[in-house]
Structure 1
Amino acid sequence: MGPDTAAVELIGVRRQYGKGDRAVHALRGIDLSLPHGSFTAVMGPSGSGKSTFLQCAAGLDRPTAGSIRLGGTEITGLGENRLTELRRSRLGFVFQAFNLLPSLTVEQNVLLPLRLAGHRPDRRRAAEVLGRVGLGDKGARRPGELSGGQQQRVAIARALVTRPDVIFGDEPTGALDTTTAAEVLTLLRDAVDQLGATVVMVTHDPVAAGYADRVVFLADGRLVATLPRSTPAAIGARMTQLAAPAAGHAGQYAGAVA
């Protein structure tokens, strides 16, 4: 993996569900390269293809056409076992619903990716990442004993534990109040700035997107605009434009793609 290799690269990615008249074109040819150590927010109106984009980029869904590379590794043609191995060892995930196992302790939840990847659980590593997210004293607790914000911090620690190439976030602050969301977003920002992580986050929240280095906007399965790090107001204004039912807006914004 050379220094110039993108962390995530999509080339001509299309995703179609169904055939003929009933076909749904979720992605219509996405070209995007995300550098290592960057924080990218993905936004767009409902039905724009955000979730499909994330699932394809993370190897959770296979594109109908095109090529996806993670850290220079072509994943499009990988078998399911190899894909699963890659996700467990090189990717981290943070979801809106936290996805913690309630019967396990916080420490055990954090160590789960290492166990699944066949590595010996490293308790010092667990303590390190829990300390980084401000939960160094909570390793023996169960998720149900923690607040929603604390549970999402555990999820971030779990995402960091394997030192992944890319962390994918799917509405990671969607279930949190404003103050708690800001704390979680700061942790993701710090993972990029201090640990050199690469974060790709789908969000509908312009405030959350304001933490990213750049925002990419999808509409009708196409990449229609990008903004470098911007204020929530500027991001919200662009979202309002994209959501407007004016005919031909995709073409109107195509020229804004950086």
Structure 2
Amino acid sequence: MKDFDSTAAVRLIEVTRRFGRGKSAVAALRGVSVGLRAGTFTAIMGPSGSGKSTLLQCAAGLDRPTSGRVLLGETDLATMSESRLTKLRRDRIGFVFQSFNLIPALTARQNITLPLRLAGRRADKDWLEDLVKRTGLSQRIGHRPTEMSGGQQQRVAIARALITRPAVVFGDEPTGALDIATGREILGLLREVVDTLGQTLVMVTHDPVAASYADQVLFLADGSIVDSMDRPGADQVAARLTRLGG
């Protein structure tokens, strides 16, 4: 599981995360070490309470480990102040959530470019146009979230995550609120983003079919990475998850 060469976009080194103190403390992560290669799609799976979300939050700089190190490229997140960490997340990390997290009063275009506006930067018109085309939003760019389907809203969220050209995009159950057909469309789009743009993508999911779109699937149990698979089929993922109790 250890892969600390220079091609890793994100590295976790002996990361432990405990909640609470004393005898009531609970370890969500137990000495996790893993490197996630740049330009690849990684899915994280495991039973409820296995540490999936905590791993994602620590890797993305949303939560600090109790011990260990998290590196984005060569940047050690543990050494950064909260203000610098906030800027890093805004500039170098993209997020796609199950609940879309769009601003209702803003149009699709305004939602996509919001991270740049918050950073005081102008949008690259060519890049914005490219993202709009890639995500199939050309006919919806002036619409607000309430005027769009769930799949269209998630496409806006994906474009928003990519607008800053981030080092890594993290997805937390990005197809969890979508119907099966729409979810597959979104997964195809995420796969295309990795294949054509070289984007690094890390996704927590409970869906074996979703995981089958990834280059690598990491399986967690009791706060530790217990197995991994390269480009597995959905049936293989489901069988392994069943043995973990997921």
Name the amino acid aligned to 2:210. A
**What displacement does 1:136 show?**
1.4
Partner of residue 209, structure 2 = 207
Q: Deviations over 1:190-236 (max 9, x none)?
A: 11100000000000000000000010000010111101110100000
2:220 corresponds to which of 218, 221, 234: 218
**What displacement does 1:132 show?**
0.8
Paired with 1:199 and 1:115, the residues of 2 have a C-alpha distance of 24
Name the amino acid aligned to 1:4. S
Q: Deviations over 1:51-96 (max 9, x none)?
A: 0000000000000000000122111120011101111111110000
Paired with 1:133 and 1:167, the residues of 2 have a C-alpha distance of 15
**What displacement does 1:125 show?**
3.1
Partner of residue 62, structure 2 = 60
What is the SS of the residue equivalent to 2:8?
Answer: coil
2:171 corresponds to which of 160, 169, 177: 169
Partner of residue 239, structure 1 = 241
Name the amino acid aligned to 1:238. R
> TM-score scaled by structure 1?
0.91
Paired with 2:69 and 2:144, the residues of 1 have a C-alpha distance of 41
Answering whether residue 83 of structure 2 is matched by residue 81 of structure 1, we say yes
Q: Kindly report the root-mean-square deviation, in angstroms, between the aligned alpha carbons of the 2 structures.
A: 1.2
Superposition map of 1:78-117 within 5 A: 78-117=80-119
Unmatched segments (≥5 aa) in structure 1: 245-258
Paired with 1:83 and 1:39, the residues of 2 have a C-alpha distance of 24
Name the amino acid aligned to 1:199. L
Paired with 2:181 and 2:201, the residues of 1 have a C-alpha distance of 21
**What displacement does 1:118 show?**
2.2
Answering whether residue 34 of structure 2 is matched by residue 32 of structure 1, we say yes
Unmatched segments (≥5 aa) in structure 2: none
Paired with 2:244 and 2:62, the residues of 1 have a C-alpha distance of 27
Q: Is the 8 A contact 1:40 1:201 kept in 2?
A: yes
Answering whether residue 13 of structure 2 is matched by residue 41 of structure 1, we say no
Paired with 1:16 and 1:55, the residues of 2 have a C-alpha distance of 13
> TM-score scaled by structure 2?
0.96
Question: How many residues of Structure 1 are paired with residues of Structure 2 in the alignment?
Answer: 242
**What displacement does 1:8 show?**
0.6
State the percentage of identical aligned residues. 60
Paired with 1:208 and 1:56, the residues of 2 have a C-alpha distance of 22
1:72 corresponds to which of 74, 81, 104: 74
What is the SS of the residue equivalent to 2:169?
Answer: strand
Name the amino acid aligned to 1:155. A
Paired with 2:171 and 2:187, the residues of 1 have a C-alpha distance of 10
Q: Which moved more, 1:108-117 or 1:59-68?
A: 108-117
Partner of residue 135, structure 1 = 137
Partner of residue 18, structure 2 = 16
**What displacement does 1:4 show?**
2.6
**What displacement does 1:123 show?**
4.3
